Amino acid sequence: MAESFGVDAERYDRSRPRYPEAMVQSIVAASPGRDALDVGIGTGIVARQFQAAGCRVLGVEPDERMADFARRNGTEVEVSTFETWNPVRRTFDLVVAGQAWHWVDPVLGAAKAAEVLRPGGRLALFWNVGQPPRELVDAFAEVYRRLLPDSPATRGLATSAVQIYLAGCDKAADGLRETGAFGDPEQQQFHWKQRYTRTEWLEFSATTGVATQLPQAVLDEVLGDLGAAIDEVGGSFTAQYTAVMVTAVRLTT
CA distance 240 to 7: 27
DSSP secondary structure, 214-249, as one string: S-HHHHHHHHHHHHHHHHHTTSEEEEEEEEEEEEEE
Give me the pLDDT at residue 211, please: 85
Q: Is residue 222 a contact partner of residue 201, using CB atoms and an 8 Å limit?
A: no
Strand order across the 236-249 sheet:
76-79, 56-61, 35-39, 92-98, 117-131, 236-249, 186-197
Give me the pLDDT at residue 110, please: 98
Give me the pLDDT at residue 79, please: 98
Give me the pLDDT at residue 6, please: 63
Amino acid at 190: F
Q: Is residue 95 a contact partner of residue 67, using CB atoms and an 8 Å limit?
A: no
CA distance 169 to 194: 23
Structural domains in the chain, sorted by start:
5-132+160-194+241-249 (3.40.50.150)
Report residue 73: phi and psi, to 5°: -95, 15
Work out the angle at residue 75's Cα, subtended by the Cα atoms of residues 73 and 81, and round it to the nearest 5 degrees.
Answer: 125
Give me the pLDDT at residue 152, please: 67
Q: Is residue 30 a contact partner of residue 245, using CB atoms and an 8 Å limit?
A: no
Give me the pLDDT at residue 151, please: 73
Amino acid at 199: T
Closest to 80 in 3D by CA, of 101, 62, 65, 98: 62
Q: Residue 108's CB: how many other CB atoms inside 10 A?
A: 15
Which residues of the chain are modeled with pLDDT < 50?
A: none
Give me the pLDDT at residue 4, please: 64
CA distance 25 to 27: 5
Give me the pLDDT at residue 155, please: 55
Closest to 77 in 3D by CA, of 113, 106, 52, 48: 48
Give me the pLDDT at residue 3, please: 62
Give me the pLDDT at residue 161, please: 85
For the entire predicted model, the pTM comes to 0.93
User: Which residues are 50's β-sheet partners?
Assistant: none
Give me the pLDDT at residue 96, please: 98
CA distance 51 to 97: 14
